[in-house]
Structure 1
Amino acid sequence: MPTMLCCWGNGSFGQLGLGEDGVSEPLPFRRAPEAPGGPEVVLVACGERHSLLLRADGSVASCGDNAQGQLGRRLPPGQRRAHVPEQIQALETQTIVHMSCGKEHSLAVCNNGRVFSWGAGAFGQLGTGELKERLIPKKVDGLSKYKIIQVACGNYHSIALTKDGRVFSWGQNTHGQLGLGKEVTNQARPQQISALDGIPLAQVAAGGSQSFALSLSGVVYGWGKNNAHQLGLSQADPKEQIFKPHSIAALRKLDVIYVSCGDEHTAVLTQNGSVFTFGDDSAGQLGRSSSALKTGPEKLDSVDGPVSHLACGSYHTVCISASGQLISFGHGLQQHNGSGPSSSKSDRRPCFNISALVSPNELLGFRVKRIFAGPYVTFATVLRTQDSAYANTATSMETLPKISMMDRALMEKWLLATAESVMRQTAKREIEAIFSSSPCLAASFLKPRSAMETGCCVAVDLQKAREMLEELATRDWIAGRIFSSLLDNLIPALPLNSPHQEALSSFLLLPECCAALEAQKMQHLAIPFAKAVNGLSKRSLDILEKCWSFLPASHLDRIVQMLKKVVLSQLPCYSYYPACQVLLPLLEVLKKLYKVNKRANCKLPLSNFYIDEIRQIINPFADLARWHVWVEAMIVKANAQDTLVRNRLLRKGELPKLPVFPLRVRRKNLVEDTLRKLSQVEDISLKMQLLIEFEGEMPGHETGGVLFEFFSYVFEEMVQPDYGMFMCCEQNSPIWFPSRPSVEKNKYLFFGILCGLSMFNRVTAYVPFPLAAFKKLLGKKPTLDDLKELSPVLGRSLQAVLDYEHDDFETSHELTYNISWDNVDVDLIPNGSSVAVNNSNKKEFVNKYVDYVFNKSVEGIFQEFKRGFYKVLDERMVAFFEPQELMDVAIGNANYDWELYEKNTVYWGIYSETHPTVRMFWKVFHELTLADKKGFLLFVLGSDRVPVVGMDSLKLTIHSHKSLSEEHIPEAQICFHLLLLPPYSTTGKLKEKLLQAIENNRGFGKQL
């Protein structure tokens, strides 16, 4: 059965279309005589004084006032109103599918996505670039490149939603209703609202001077006028104007599926059929029974049962229950006692009456299908009760055109499309449309609302995406179309400065797309993806990193492994500039993921971030050398040494020019000479290759041994208790900075410089710092575990304090907030000696204790040490390390593998691994104590620590020498990690001489 159209309200301008004797009570719509029994009306749009009626065949009729040309047709001379709807002839060649009316202007969307506008245009609301009225519909050329699916009109502004998820606005922006920012004036042509880029939207809506966008996930974004709280913002944000889309927190958990706006009030419909209203209630249009002023969204409890449709007029709201009954509240203009929304609301509030507009009794025998509200009128499509079986039960949301998205049915159609078929050509266009648009891609894989975890910001189903994309990738033509769409269209248009979580969903889906495609295409997609991530604003990056932290481990690892594979594919370029630059964005994103993983309590093992294959592709030492421009530096250094010799012979200047940093010292005053030279050097010289020269000696060509010994000796002397720079809490514990240093403050600056120089020059020289020192260098806070390393006795005592749970804590411990540290009594808080530690504050006490030891007591001198350290090293590069990694790089580690050390040894001269002396040597070596083995490393290497790259990098060379007999002790050339081993005849003799060499290996300047 066909539906009938009922209407009621203020029809004084003919906007009800009932003829000149139009009435305001409900009455079946009388069709024009020229179209008896014609197509039924499927949509009605109402302005202040005019109405548009869309019929099922796509034709549009208009009625009402035409003073501004809002009817879209010319009336007979002298006639300014049309009381009977007539078709708009200028649109008769178009099939209209959607339309909307502003106060005095109109928009219509045809089935090919083109938009036509007409009526008043003084504020640019027509979008044609003209600031004048139009009597006849004209295409909005500024939107011709896009397929529009929805339009919404406010009083003097317009909004449009495209098939690919973009939002455009134009017209008046006095109150920010265009969402383009405060600095933007009225716009006569459509402008894209960039703040909504990337969000998969379901609807756009507009009120008098407010605007809304609703996402498919149920997030509501509002902007524009908020003088009556019509945007639903909380009391904490009482701004009367919002100039850019703002996520409405009060609506976030309501599961909104539809938004409707009045002049200064708003109503939303939720998934379960509830209605929430907010804004101006001067006419009772919010449907609230209480007179108490409540500015936020409030549920409409007076409606019995779920609601399927709702619509807002200027001062009334109308709903349809699931059973087809109509409920209305508020009133029309003729009942308004005030002078408008700006009047005092307390004077204008009528008595609450939910049936103020129409009594249910007046629609007895009818079932209401859809409802449309204008400022002062209401239209409803109805069926007689006996025909209700034919009623369309679609909700308000289900009647809205939707953006492009992929589902299982569409995917199956693509997979079945045969070559050169019409179906395949259509499929190619559909694939390109979806995979070229961030909103459409996100919409294709949205989680069901019921599956969204509380507090989780990941709105897309990555597992579903993985499965469907892998299935699509089995068709080469589909994979190729997806690849080109992503590379050419989607990635270049990714939103990089969005404050909204939903906008960044594509950053989660792109790795799944990359992984589903073959390796070569993955490479081409991953690099621009990484560049986009690095191009995110800080606000957007924070949101993305939060989303990453919520990912299951398997999906987080998916991103990590994808980036690692692409890094590996690019490693052959690492030695070529500028080709090597492509690695930087990939590594930067891996760094970000690594930090996210750490903050998420290591969902992934840290080893997942390591690229083990690097060892087979590059030499870490060579790579590190390149980092410091090592090849060039070594040439310059050799030339500098030659210059030194030549100048000495010719009695010319002593030092070569930079870029080497020549440090000339005396052996007997090594430390003091070093510190004096550091006080005079310019900072730029610290970042150059260090060249050690001794007064009174001819410089020789060395390859690292002098540097090893130089740093070892300087550090060894400066960390001794007698030197006064550092303290030890307990025997054999690490050193720490004293609270009352007995040396000048600038010595800590120089010590920091020396530590930085040691790292910069690739010297692993042991300084017995605890891990806490490296945490502080990286800006991380030390903990009680660090105090246990620094002072095991104190650390265990404080742990016992935390573990004690008995009620007699105060009497058994007798602790106060006054402690003794470094032989000084200190109050941890004001008057700490009078504040007892008990079970309730013991955790705070321990935290303040740890903070004092590692931070407050050493604040000044540690800051000097840190400043010196970063005079040499780039703080951004150092930030790549975790504290333990930085510690291993700086001072090495004690992860000894003596079997591997033997395996990697090289033999020269008469020696081989089967030679009797060599066999005896390794037998003796493996029987040595750990201390003696470390002493041997110091003897042949200059350091007893293992470099960060491991024992595999230590390659000992054992060589015989014709001048050595078994009466000689072994000799070493640490420059080459070379052991000169005499041919001993017995194991006892070899052990005696080897231990003698180890024990005599003290002091600076042994044989190189």
Structure 2
Amino acid sequence: MAIVCKNCFCRKVLTCQTGKKSNFWRFSEVLRRCSSTLPFSSDRDPAQSEGLPIHKYIDKTHKRVNMLFACGLTATGALGLREKSSRTQSRRYPIRLTNIGKLKITSVGCGYGYTVFASNNRDLIKVWGSGINTQSQLGFHSSQKGVTKGRPAESGHFDYVMETTAIPIPFDSFSKTKVTQVSCGRAHTLLLTDNEGIFSFGCNSFGQCGREIIEGEIYQGSRKIHCIPHNHFLSPVTQISCGMDHSLFLTKSGEVYGCGWGADGQTGLGSYEKTGIPKLLKGDLEGVKVQQISTFADMSMAVCEDGHLYGWGNSEYYQLASVTDDTQVCTPIRLPFKNIGKIVSAAAGGSICCALNEEGEVFVWGYGILGKGPDLKDSRHPEKIPQTLFGESTFSPSVKVTKIKCGMNHFAAVTNNGELFTWGKNKSGCLGIGEYRDQYFPWKVLVPGEVVDVFCGVDHTVILSKSML
């Protein structure tokens, strides 16, 4: 039996029981042919009548689909859209990444002009990337028609990957190893696996890849992929975070390790020197069990189990001004913020910081567009953003923020009802609000489906969501 629209007011092509098709402008004919079978009266039971249309609904066994969306600068290839027109150098609305979204992506790293995607499946290929590849931060890529761009080096390596391409990683066991997280810096990439440690590739000029620094090493066209085993640390690593030119590692037992460039103290190792070997952070973190770390540029933060917040690195923009007037701090210090509750998550950007407490309240400080209007340009202490700006109201009193992220100069927050809000500098439309203007308050981003996570870069943003049905 054919399916017939309940009242024939649909603009889509309709199929009546006569087997013929009709469009909206042939409404009268379809209505006449289907009038004998359409249930116009609400008191008629379709189950008790013969010849009525069958309506099919989605049942509980239907699986929701993972979807990826991205917005921001496309000229570098970071979105993997393979843009050809000079008039589409950026996307101010979230656009679905159909070429990579079918691969069940679970983690994304937004670097400086490039993006790396990872899945935790058991397939041969687990990592993909696109964008700037001048320092082999996407691995080695030879000429591929329509994928790579620019003149190749003597090695045949291309500096730009314009379409999302597989990145081969030398796992010992492709069937057993899972990639649980990916993180990207200015020109280096870290991959966290469940049982083979951390894989790093790209620029290692300051030791940010966690290996020995080789003076004069050429990174363009490099095929070197380094592995840091889990047994290098006191316990297995559970979280990684890349800064501009440094890296942080959080272990299962709550210790934090750092390596890379330390000129602003961002490695937290008690000195301003660079180092290629991940070392244990001490200071106020000594004896404390950390549950989350965050860094993006040259300032770092950590959240411990009891809800206290710690910071180190650059403080030129008041990030650590609540504790010290020093503009560089090389040792982790506790941030004695008051009246902000128990912190469960924190995010550090270029000159901006934010924290989320267990009540779902968001606090911001630093320098830039903080989210409380154009008059608030800087703050030494956390400023609470009203919950109503994230959708809380009399009709939705239970709405609260569950995740917060920072890019270089913009914020993103995900609520418990799957909505995404962004604010801050809107470079190349990275906020996804449909405009190129800066946004001084949290603004809801229109994303099809339920937002699961968001990943922020310098000038682009990637959104992971699930279909509603």
TM-score under structure 2 length normalisation: 0.63
2:357 and 2:402 map into 1 onto residues whose CA distance is 9
Q: Give me the whole-angstrom Cα distance separating, in 2, the residues matched to 1:320 and 1:76.
A: 38
Q: Does 2:456 align with 1:312?
A: yes
CA pair 27-241 structure 1, distance change in 2 beyond 3 A: same
8 Å contact from structure 2 (residues 343, 358) kept in 1: yes
Letter matched to residue 104 of structure 1: D
Give, as a single letter, the amino acid of the residue that structure 1 aligns with 2:452: S
| DSSP-derived class of the 1:12 partner | coil
- Kindly state the Cα deviation for residue 186 of structure 1 after the two structures are TM-superposed: 2.0
Distance 1:183 1:144, change over 3 A: closer
- Change in Cα spacing, 1:275 to 1:121, as seen in structure 2 (3 Å) is same
Q: Deviations over 1:917-966 (max 9, x none)?
A: xxxxxxxxxxxxxxxxxxxxxxxxxxxxxxxxxxxxxxxxxxxxxxxxxx
The alignment status of 1:244 with 2:388, answered yes or no, reads no
- C-alpha change, 1:36 and 1:78, in structure 2 (3 Å) is farther
Question: Does residue 1:166 correspond to 2:277, yes or no?
Answer: no
Match of 1:72 among 210, 213, 217: 210
Following the alignment from structure 1 to structure 2, what is the Cα–Cα distance between the partners of residues 55 and 90? Answer: 9
Q: Deviations for 1:270-313, whole angstroms, at most 9, x for unmatched residues? A: 11111111111131101122456542111112x21221111111
**Aligned residue in 1 for 2:467:** 323
2:295 to 153, 158, 169: 153
Q: What does residue 100 of structure 1 align with?
A: 241
What code does the residue aligned with 2:320 have? L
1:476-875 equivalent positions in 2, closer than 5 A: none
Displacement after TM superposition at 1:319 (Å):
0.6
Once the 2 structures are TM-superposed, how far is the Cα of residue 58 of structure 1 from its aligned partner? 6.2
The equivalent residue for 1:213 is 355
Change in CA separation of 1:36 and 1:294 when aligned onto 2, cut-off 3 Å: closer
Shift of 1:30: 1.4
Secondary structure at 1:152's aligned position in 2? strand
Measured in 2, the distance between the counterparts of 1:221 and 1:104 equals 27
Residue pair 1:50, 1:66 contacting (<8 A) in 2 also: yes
Q: Are positions 1:134 and 2:275 aligned together?
A: yes
Q: Which runs of 5+ in 1 are unaligned?
A: 326-1008
2:139 alignment partner, one of 6, 12, 17: 17
Shift of 1:38: 5.4
CA contact (8 A) 1:114 1:148 kept: yes
Shift of 1:50: 0.6
Amino acid at match of 2:272: L
Aligned partner of 1:266 among 405, 408, 411: 411
Query: Which structure would you say has the larger Rg?
Result: 1
Residues 1:32 and 2:173 are matched in the alignment: no
* 1:522-570: CA deviation from partner (whole Å, max 9, x where unpaired): xxxxxxxxxxxxxxxxxxxxxxxxxxxxxxxxxxxxxxxxxxxxxxxxx
TM-score scaled by structure 1? 0.30
Could you list the per-position Cα deviations for residues 618-643 of structure 1 after superposition, in whole angstroms to 9, with x for gaps in the alignment? xxxxxxxxxxxxxxxxxxxxxxxxxx
- The alpha-carbon deviation at position 18 of structure 1 amounts to 4.3
Judge conservation of contact 2:246–2:260 (CA < 8 Å) in 1.
yes
Amino acid in the other structure paired with 1:245: P
Q: Say which SS state the counterpart of residue 283 (structure 1) adopts.
A: helix
Structure 1 residue 114 displacement after superposition: 1.0
Partner of 1:544: none
Amino acid aligned to 1:72: G
Match of 1:200 among 332, 335, 342: 342
SS class of match (2:225): strand
With over 3 angstroms needed to count, the CA separation of the structure-2 counterparts of 1:290 and 1:202, relative to structure 1, is same
Report deviation, 1:174: 0.5
Question: 1:283-302 alignment to 2 at 5 Å?
Answer: 283-291=428-436, 294-301=439-446
CA distance in 1, matches of 2:225, 2:425: 32
- Output the CA distance in 1 between the equivalents of 2:421 and 2:329: 32
The CA deviation string for residues 237-259 of structure 1, in whole angstroms up to 9 with x for no partner, is x2322111221226463621111
Question: Deviations along 1:477-515, whole A, 9 cap, x unmatched?
Answer: xxxxxxxxxxxxxxxxxxxxxxxxxxxxxxxxxxxxxxx
Greater RCO, 1 or 2 (C-alpha within 8 Å, sep 6+): 2
CA contact (8 A) 2:171 2:177 kept: no
1:6 to 2:128 alignment: yes
Deviation at 1:11, TM superposition (A): 2.0
One-letter amino acid of the structure 2 residue matched with residue 287 of structure 1: G
Specify which structure has the higher proportion of strand.
2
After superposition, what is the alpha-carbon deviation per residue over 1:728-782, rounded to whole angstroms, capped at 9, x for unaligned? xxxxxxxxxxxxxxxxxxxxxxxxxxxxxxxxxxxxxxxxxxxxxxxxxxxxxxx
**Measured at CA, do residues 324 and 60 of structure 1 come closer, stay the same or move farther in structure 2, by a change above 3 Å?**
farther
Distance 1:278 1:289, change over 3 A: same
Q: Which residue identity does 1:172 align to in structure 2?
A: N
TM superposition shift of 1:88: 2.1
Aligned to 1:62: 200
Aligned to 2:180: 42
Q: For 2:260 and 2:141, how far apart are their aligned partners in 1?
A: 22
How much identity, in percent, do the aligned residues show?
A: 30
User: May I ask how many residue pairs the two structures share in their alignment?
Assistant: 319
Select the structure that is richer in helix: 1
Give the Cα separation in 2 of the matches to 1:16 and 1:260: 23
1:125 aligns with 2:266: yes
Structure-2 change in CA distance of 1:39 and 1:264 (3 Å): same
Matched residue, 1:88: 228
Q: What SS does structure 2 have at the residue aligned with 1:195? A: coil
Once residues 214 and 439 of structure 2 are traced to their aligned partners in structure 1, the CA distance between those partners, rounded to angstroms, is: 50
Shift, 1:64, TM fit: 0.7
Secondary structure at the counterpart of residue 296 of structure 1? strand
